[in-house]
Amino acid sequence: MRSVFTHTLFTVLLLALTPAIAAPLHALTVYGEPAKYPAGFDHFDYVNPNAPKGGSLRRSAMEIGQFDHLLPYLDKGIGVSEIDGLVYSPLAVRSLDEPYTVYGLVAQGIERDKDGLWLRFILDPRATFADGTPITAEDVRYTFNLLITQGSLRYRTQFADVKAVVVESDRQVRFDLKNNDSRTLPLDLATLPVLPEHWWKDRDFAGGGGFEAPLGSGPYRVGKVDNGRSITFERNPDWWGKDLPVSRGMYNFDHFGVEFFGDIDVARQVLRGGGYDYNREFSATGYTIGYNSDALDDGRLQRAHLATKGLQSAQGYVFNLNRPLFKDRRVRQALAMLWDFEWSNRQMMRNMYLRQQSFFSNSALAASAPPSADELKILEPLRGKVPDEVFSQVFQAPKTDGTGFIRDKQLQALKLLEDAGWQPKGDKLVNAQGEPLSFTFLNAQGGMERLLLPYKRILAQIGITFEIRRIDPSQYLNRLMARDYDMIVTGYPVSSSPGMELLNYYGSQGANDPGSSNYMALQDPAVDQLLKGLVSATTQPVMATYAHALDRVLQWNYYWIPNYYPPGTSTVWWNRFGIPKIQASNDAAPETWWEVSPTPLSNAQMAERTKGAR
C-alpha cells in the first residue's frame, strides 16, 4: 500500500508541475479565430493539386548584390533567402491567402495553453532530414538556441519572451513563455526552421556556413552553387512531406534556380536575352517599357501585376535621426514637402504607382480616417509628446499638380526652415553657425538617381545642397549597419497581423544595433509605448486601434519621405509555365507554378497547349 501511495503521490505531483494538455490543433491563428482551412483539408485553394512534376524555373533573387554565404538566418553579408522553406522546412507553414495563419508541417499537432503561457509541438514521426535522420525535439531546441545566440538580431528581439525550451520526448517539445503579451509570438515560433544538430554542431553557423550545401529537411536540396552569382536547388523526390496538405501542388520543378545581380537594369536585360525565366521588377519604367519587344507582343514574354490584393511594403526615403540636421521635425517636414511625387509618377513611372501615405500601406491598419474614441484614449496620455495633428487630422502626403513647378511648396518649406533657424546667405541656406544646409543620399541600386535628380534641382532652387552618392552593395551594407549615412531608401514589410517584428523596425532598442532594421535610428518613447500596446493586444480590434495610433505618430513626425507602391507584384516571365487559376492573394508564389513547355510559347500556343487544364 505504501508503495502504491508513494507512486500515486509522485504522479499527482508530476501532473501538477506539467502544463495541462490542450486540444491538439492543426493550425494557429493570431487571436484564436477559426482558420480558413479545417483539420483534414486536402490542399490550399491557390495550388493545382494535379500539377505535374518536372522541368525547371530560374528566377532573379530578391536581394541586390552577390551572396557571400548560403544561410539567410544571419545579419552579416548576403545569404540566399530561398534556403528557408526550400531546404529547411518549418514547424508550421504560413498560408498565402490569410492574414496570418500557420498550418503544421514538421509539427503534426500543436497545443496552445489557454492562458498563452506555453506552446507544444508534436512532431510528425515521418519527418526526417535529407540523410534519413529523424527530426527530433532536440533538433528544435538546438535550432532555437542557435538562432538566438548566433543568428540575426531579429530572433533575439522576436523571441525575447521565450523563457525555456523543454524537450518532453523525442517527438514533443514545449516552449514556455515569460508572459502572454504577444499574440503573434506562438505563430512566429511555429514558423521556425528546424536545423540538424548532428550536422551543424561541427560547422561554422555564425560564419554563414560558406558555400557548402547544407543538410536540410525540405522539398529541395542545394545542387550547383556558382559562388555569389547563382544557386540551383534540386527537388528531392523522396521528401517526407510531399503528400501533406500544405505541400500538395507545391514545389513542382525538378530544378529551381536563383540568379543574383548587382543591378536591376542588368537583371532586366539578362531576362530579355533569355538568361533566366522570372523577374520581380522594381522599376516602373522598366516594367512598362523595358520589355517592349516582339516576344511581349505575341505573348512569349508575359508581364502582369500578380497578387493584386497582397499587402505592399511601405517604402520611403528615411532620415538618419542620429544626424543633428534631422532632429528638428520642421526640417524633416520641409524636406518631405519638396519631393514631387506627382511629376515623377507622370513623367518617369507612367502613372503606374500609388502614393505611399501610411506605414501600413494598402491595409486596414492604415490610419486613413480621423482617430476613433478608442484611439484617442490611447493617444491622450501622449499629448505633448507627439505632434498635435495626431489628435485631429488625417495625414496626407504633400501633393502637387504634377507640372514640376512647386513654388508654393518651396515657400512653405522656406518658412518652416526659417522657423527652425535656417536663413539665406548668398545662394545657400545656413544656420546660426554659418553651416550650409547640406545632406547626402547613399545609394546602391541603379535607376534611383533618375528619381533623385529632380529632387536635387528643387532643393538647390531654395539653397539646399543635396548630393547623391552611389557605392557598391558590400560598402552599402557596411555603412547601413554602422548607420553611416544621411538618407537612404528603404522598405518595411507590411502585415495584417503585425507583432514583435515592429520592434526591429521602429523600437528604440534597435536604433543603433547593426543587426536591426531601424534604419531611421528612431528612439521615441511614445512610439515604444504604442509598440508595446500593439504587440500585447489580445484581440484583433485592439491591435488595429494601436496600429492606427502608431501610424499617426509615425506619419506626423515626418520620419521619412513616403514613396509609392505598385498595384500588385510587378512580374515578368517567359511564357512556358502553368499557373493555378486561383492564385495566392498575398504572394506571387512561383513555387505553385509548373512547367508546360521547355521553351516559351505564344499566347495562342499556350491556350492550345493548356486547353481543358485546370
Q: Would you give the DSSP letter of residue 348?
A: H
What is the pLDDT at residue 282?
Answer: 83
Grid cell at residue 387:
505632434
Grid cell at residue 144:
532555437
Residue 258 DSSP SS3: strand
What is the pLDDT at residue 1?
Answer: 38
Grid cell at residue 217:
529537411
Run of H or E residues at 458: helix 449-461
Reference 240, options 200, 194, 203, 188; nearest CA is 194
Contact predicate 572/287, CB 8 Å? yes
**DSSP states along 503-543:** HHHH-GGGTT-TTS--TT----HHHHHHHHHHHT-SSHHHH
For the chain of 614 residues, list the mean pLDDT of each consecutive stretch of 10: 40 43 84 94 97 98 92 92 97 94 97 95 98 98 97 90 97 96 91 97 91 97 96 97 98 98 93 97 87 97 91 93 98 98 91 93 92 97 97 96 95 98 96 97 89 96 97 93 97 88 94 93 98 90 96 98 92 97 92 98 95 68
Cα dihedral value 580, 584, 590, 595, nearest 10? -10
CB neighbours (10 Å) of residue 424?
Answer: 13
What is the pLDDT at residue 313?
Answer: 87
Of the CA atoms within 13 Å of residue 263, those in its CB half-sphere come to: 10
Contact predicate 233/82, CB 8 Å? yes
What is the pLDDT at residue 9?
Answer: 39
By CB atoms closer than 10 A (0-12, 13-18, 19+), residue 550 is buried
d(CA 203, CA 379) in angstroms, rounded, equals 50
Reference 247, options 613, 592, 582; nearest CA is 592
Residue 371 DSSP SS3: coil
What is the pLDDT at residue 570?
Answer: 92
Backbone φ, ψ for residue 278 (5° rounding): -145, 125
List domains and CATH numbers for the chain.
220-310+567-609 (3.40.190.10), 314-565 (3.10.105.10)
Q: Locate all alpha helices (DSSP H) within 212-263, ordered by sequence.
A: none
Contacts of 230-238 spanning 24+ positions with Cβ under 8 A: 230/257, 230/258, 230/259, 230/260, 231/67, 231/70, 231/80, 231/82, 231/257, 231/258, 232/256, 232/257, 232/258, 233/82, 233/86, 233/87, 233/257, 233/258, 235/53, 236/130, 237/53
Q: Mark residue 256 as left, alpha or beta (left: phi above 0; alpha: psi -120 to 50; beta: remaining).
A: beta
- Dmax (CA) for the chain in angstroms is 101
**DSSP states along 408-425:** HHHHHHHHHHHHTT-EEE
Q: Mark residue 307 as left, alpha or beta (left: phi above 0; alpha: psi -120 to 50; beta: remaining).
A: left
Bridge partners for 303 per DSSP:
572
d(CA 71, CA 212) in angstroms, rounded, equals 10
What is the pLDDT at residue 612?
Answer: 67
Q: Which residues contact 611 (CB under 8 A, 6 or more apart)?
A: none
